[in-house]
Structure 1
Amino acid sequence: MKSSWSNIETDLLGFYEESNGLDDDSREFLERIDFVENGHVSDAGERYLDSKFIFEDDEHPEILRHEVLNLPEIRDLCQSFYGQRTDREKVERFLRSKTDVSDSKEAGRILNLLNGLNIVSYSKKTGSVQFSEADQVEEQEQDSYRVTHRTPYSNIKRLRRAIRACEGDLLWVAKHFPKKGFEPLSDEVTGDRFSSVQILCGPDNVTHKMRSDFERFQDEMGRRDIDSELRVMTNGDHLGKLHDRWILSDGASWNVPPVNSIYRNQEAEFHRVTEDHSFDDWWSDAEDIISDWNEIQKHI
């Protein structure tokens, strides 16, 4: 934000009512929050202005709040300090290191806007910043979630929310999948929304204990009318090509951090993906952890 929200709002109102030209900085921010599209005030921008300046129905703060929280840098900031009290210096350091915010004044304008929208409680006098725990700061249907050392419980909750957005046939592909990964699946995968769970991994974390845990997991999934299978890739060519990790489903699909990184609160992100990924060849070439156990043991 190169200008305060009050100045940007004045520009927007003049543009809406009198077709005044928009300042370049105002235009950039208004386009980013989808208040201006294709050179015109958008439906969201019009609803905001009508609410504040015509109907006075107090809906405008929620309209603006929703669009501001959709900004990736604001979403990352809120998820990183979710429900916490910190100070302006740390917020500025975060914004400078992870966004294109370049100076203290811009960070201050952002904090003032977030304070006005009840996303944070910010005291200019003391520099104290308290971040909201409201559900609107972190909604169910987001396109990304951040893992941070400041939010050890919320990191696991975000993994569960990512799984909760999936449905139908679920495939989790992770070279180093640990048995701890069964836990969030057991919590979130239910028979009313899922038909199968497939896990494709390499041999590094595969042990007798993991096999035993999966047998129990498989039995419980079966009681929910969900087919489950875990296969281990032993083909070196496939293993050498696999780096990222995915949770793919008939509903949402995700590029996800390593399970152990999530539980260790290491900085990472979940991202919703739209492109198709096919692991059919790798799946058909992998070994079933139950029926092919003797073969798998040669590789662990």
Structure 2
Amino acid sequence: MESSWSNIEERFLEHYEEGEELEGSDRDFLERIQFLENGEISSIGEHYLDSKFIFENGDHKDVLRQEVLNLQEIRELCQSFYGQKTERDKVERFLKSKTDVTNDREVGRILNLLNSLDVVSYSKKTGDVQFTEAEQVEEENQDSYRVTNRTPYSNIKRLRRAIRACEGDLMWIAKHFPKKGFEPLSDEVTGDGFTSVRILCGPDNVTHKMRSDFERFEQEMSNRGVEAELRVMTDGEHLGNLHDRWILSDGASWNVPPVNSLYRNQEAELHKATEEVSFEDWWDEAKDIISEWNDIQKYI
């Protein structure tokens, strides 16, 4: 934000009433929050202006809050400090290191805007910033979720929300999948939205205890009408080519951090995946943890 929201809003109103041209950073920001589409006022932008300057019904604040929280850098900021009290310097450091924000004044404008929308409580005098636990920050069906060391409970909640967005045949690929990965699947996978769960992993975390836990997991999934399978990749070439971790489905698909890293609250991000993944090829070459256990034991 190269201008304060009050100045952007003033020029936006002039554009609405008098056709004054919007240019540069004002236009860019208004398009980013979907108040403009190709230079024209959108239905969202018109709703905001009408609500504030004609009907005065208070809806404008909710409209602006929703669109601002949809901005990736704001969403990441709020998720990283969810419900926390911190200092402006730390917010500034976060924004400069992880977003396109480059100067102190822009940080101040962002905090002032978030303060006006009740997303933070910000004191210019002390520099204290208290982030709220507003549900808008943690909506369902987001494109990405932050994992931070400040949000140990919310990190697991975000993984569950990512799984909840999936449907049909769910496929989880993780070279070092641990048995605790069954827990969020057990919480979120039901027969209403899923037909199967297929887990593909390497041999490093595979143990007799994991096999035993999977048998229980498989039985419970079966009781829900969901088929569950776990296969272990033993081909060295395939394992060497496998680095990222994915949760794929007929609905949403995700790049996900390692399960152990997520439970340790290490900084990471879950975000929707767009790349093609050779799941079926890897799956066909892998060994079933139940029926091919004797073969798998050679690699663990």
SS at match of 1:105: helix
Asked whether the equivalents of residues 199 and 230 of structure 2 are also in contact (C-alpha less than 8 Å), the reply is: yes
Q: Deviations over 1:194-244 (max 9, x none)?
A: 111100011111111111111111111111111100000111221121111
Other-structure match for 1:86? 86
Secondary structure of the corresponding residue to residue 234 of structure 1: coil
SS in 2 for 1:63: helix
1:131 aligns with 2:131: yes
Q: Is the 8 A contact 2:234 2:299 kept in 1?
A: yes
Contact 2:27 2:39 in 1 (8 A): no
Q: Structure 2 CA distance, aligned partners of 1:10 and 1:217?
A: 58
Instruction: Tell me, in whole angstroms, the C-alpha distance in 2 between the residues paired with 1:13 and 1:274.
Output: 38
Q: 2:171–2:247: 8 Å Cα contact kept in structure 1?
A: yes
Which residue in 2 is equivalent to 1:151?
151
Cα drift, residue 276 of structure 1:
4.3
- In structure 2, the residue corresponding to 1:191 is in which secondary structure? coil
One-letter code aligned to 1:125: K
Query: Which residue number corresponds to residue 230 of structure 2?
Result: 230
Distance 1:277 1:89 in 2: 41
1:272 is aligned to: 272
1:181 partner amino acid: G
Q: Is the 8 A contact 1:11 1:23 kept in 2?
A: no
In 1, the alpha carbon distance for the partners of 2:184 and 2:279 equals 22
CA offset at residue 275 of structure 1? 4.6
- Matched residue, 1:203: 203
- Tell me what 2:258 maps to: 258
Could you say what secondary structure the match of 2:169 adopts?
Answer: strand
Q: Which amino acid aligns with 2:222?
A: G
Shift of 1:90: 1.1
Deviations 1:164-217 (A, max 9, x none): 111111100111111110011111111211111100011111111111111111
Q: Which amino acid aligns with 1:142?
A: Q
CA drift at 1:277: 3.0
Match in the other structure for 1:35: 35
Moved more, 262-271 or 132-141: 132-141
1:141 aligns to what?
Answer: 141
Alignment of 1:118-197 (within 5 A): 118-197=118-197
Structure 2: distance between partners of 1:8 and 1:207: 59
Gaps of 5+ in 2: none
Q: Give the Cα–Cα distance (whole angstroms) in 1 for the partners of residues 232 and 79 of structure 2.
A: 34
Aligned length: 300
Q: Which piece of structure 1 moves more, 273-282 or 289-298?
A: 273-282
CA contact (8 A) 1:177 1:259 kept: yes
Distance 2:288 2:158 in 1: 29
- Residue 214 of structure 1 aligns with which residue? 214
| Deviation of 1:274 (Å) | 4.0
Q: Is residue 196–residue 227 contact of structure 2 (8 Å, CA) maintained in 1?
A: yes
Across the aligned residues of Structure 1 and Structure 2, the Cα RMSD in angstroms comes to 1.1
Normalising by structure 2, what TM-score?
0.97
State the SS of the aligned residue for 1:205: coil
Deviations 1:55-98 (A, max 9, x none): 21111011111110011100000000000111111111111111
Q: Normalization by structure 1: what TM-score?
A: 0.97
Letter of the structure 2 residue corresponding to residue 216 of structure 1:
R
SS at match of 1:166: coil
Residue 48 (structure 1) aligns with: 48
**Runs of 4+ in structure 1 over 6 Å off:** none
Q: Distance in 2 between matches of 1:46 and 1:294?
A: 66
State the distance in 1 between where 2:225 and 2:33 align: 44
Counterpart position of 2:99? 99
Which whole-Å CA distance do the structure 2 matches of 1:276 and 1:95 have between them? Answer: 31
Amino acid across the alignment from 1:28? D
Task: Give the corresponding residue for 1:288.
Answer: 288
Letter in 1 for 2:241: K
Identity %: 74
Q: Are 1:101 and 1:107, in contact at CA under 8 Å, matched by a contact in 2? A: yes
Q: Tell me the residue number matched to 1:8.
A: 8
Give the 3-state SS of the residue equivalent to 1:94 in structure 2. helix
Give the Cα separation in 1 of the matches to 2:25 and 2:149.
34
